[in-house]
Structure 1
Amino acid sequence: MLQRQSFGYWSMGLACLIFVGCSGGDSREYGSLSGMVTLNGKPAPTGTMVTMINPENGAATSAQVRTDGAYSFPRVQVGSYNVGFVAQGKETAVETNPDKLNQMVVDGTYKEPSKEAIIPEKYKTPETSGLSVSVDLGDNSHDFNL
């Protein structure tokens, strides 16, 4: 009987240690960020990737621009970020699937991207864009005009 009780106390103790050890959770703070991305005064191309990198801690995240030019990061670690933009949408990006691209050419449906819809080279990486944003606790809003 004593053995069974010792095992019971030991297993309860282990369970408590695991629970306490795992309950520390994520101590980082988060906010949200949303806004509009415009290019030449119009909404940025649908699917444009917005990439943010925190140069201090390396935290990085990406989101896509919707058809109305809006973007949203529902959960971002609090801090300052450098921001870059790369067009990914079907209207502006070169198709990355060669079979699909070839079929579009054969079908006559391929269209070259509009020059005014092409994001300038300088904005393509967070390191070269010269654009930044700060994210604080709670809801944050920031528009980018490229």
Structure 2
Amino acid sequence: MNQRYSHARARLLTAYLSLLALVGCGGPYDATVSGTVKFNGSPVPRGTISFKPQSAGADAFGQINADGAYLLRTGREEGLNSGSYTVSVAANETPPPNPKGGPPPMGKSLTPDWYRDPATSGLTFTVAPGDNTIDIDLNATPPPGWKPPPARRR
């Protein structure tokens, strides 16, 4: 009798786990965003992209791959909330090793400085519920009213 109970319990557990696998564990966000980032028509080979919500909510970030592709995440979860976003892109060349040891210096910027700040990037997008593809084509023309920051003194 004990063995029969054990087999029934094992079958019930297997059925429950199978149902759980079929249903999935959807994340807390109602949208996903992926796409490519290009500068003057060529893929940006590395960097980060961030989507800052224009209303309340968490920022979403993505790493830009060698082919310019990115996928946004909010924290550790893939996706973000639907809504309007201001976007920034920061991309630098791979820095040379530091001959003195320690952290390497920052590599040369691959994109103009105004794209680094959502307030000056001029990039805004609306994310709809579901899957979104947002390809971003950057160029060397600054947005209206952009002024370079004052030079830092050392």
Unmatched 5+ stretches in structure 1: 1-27, 105-109
State the match for 1:41 in structure 2. Answer: 41
Q: Tell me if the contact between 2:29 and 2:79 (Cα under 8 Å) persists in the aligned partners.
A: no
Which letter does structure 2 place at the counterpart of 1:85? Answer: V
Q: What's the offset of the Cα at 1:54?
A: 0.6
Task: Determine helix, strand or coil for the equivalent of 1:38.
Answer: strand
Residues 1:57 and 2:61 are matched in the alignment: no
Q: Tell me if the contact between 1:83 and 1:131 (Cα under 8 Å) persists in the aligned partners.
A: yes
Which letter does structure 2 place at the counterpart of 1:41? Answer: G
CA distance in 2, matches of 1:34, 1:41: 18
Q: Tell me if the contact between 1:87 and 1:93 (Cα under 8 Å) persists in the aligned partners.
A: no
Q: Tell me if the contact between 2:44 and 2:110 (Cα under 8 Å) persists in the aligned partners.
A: no
Please give the root-mean-square deviation of Cα atoms over the aligned residues, in Å: 2.4
Q: What's the offset of the Cα at 1:101?
A: 1.9
TM-score, length-normalised on structure 2? 0.58
User: Structure 1 vs Structure 2: percent identity of aligned residues?
Assistant: 31
Q: What's the offset of the Cα at 1:78?
A: 1.0
Q: For each residue in 1:40-68, what CA deviation from the matched residue of structure 2 results, as whole angstroms up to 9, or x when unmatched? A: 2111132x110110121142111111111
CA distance in 1, matches of 2:56, 2:69: 27
Which one has a larger percent helix, Structure 1 or Structure 2?
A: 1
Larger Rg: 1 or 2?
1
Q: Tell me if the contact between 1:37 and 1:65 (Cα under 8 Å) persists in the aligned partners.
A: yes
Q: Tell me if the contact between 1:52 and 1:62 (Cα under 8 Å) persists in the aligned partners.
A: yes
Count how many residue pairs are aligned between Structure 1 and Structure 2: 102
Unmatched 5+ stretches in structure 2: 1-27, 73-77, 139-154
Q: Tell me if the contact between 2:83 and 2:126 (Cα under 8 Å) persists in the aligned partners.
A: yes
Greater RCO structure (CA 8 Å; 6+ sep): 1
Correspondence for 1:126 among 118, 130, 139: 118
State the match for 1:70 in structure 2. Answer: 69
Q: For each residue in 1:11-56, what CA deviation from the matched residue of structure 2 results, as whole angstroms up to 9, or x when unmatched? A: xxxxxxxxxxxxxxxxx7520001110012111132x110110121
State the match for 2:88 in structure 1. Answer: 84
CA distance in 2, matches of 1:129, 1:94: 24
Residues 14-33 of structure 1 correspond to what in structure 2 (within 5 A)? 30-33=30-33
Q: Tell me if the contact between 2:34 and 2:134 (Cα under 8 Å) persists in the aligned partners.
A: yes
TM-score, length-normalised on structure 1? 0.61
State the match for 2:146 in structure 1. Answer: none
Q: What's the offset of the Cα at 1:81?
A: 0.5
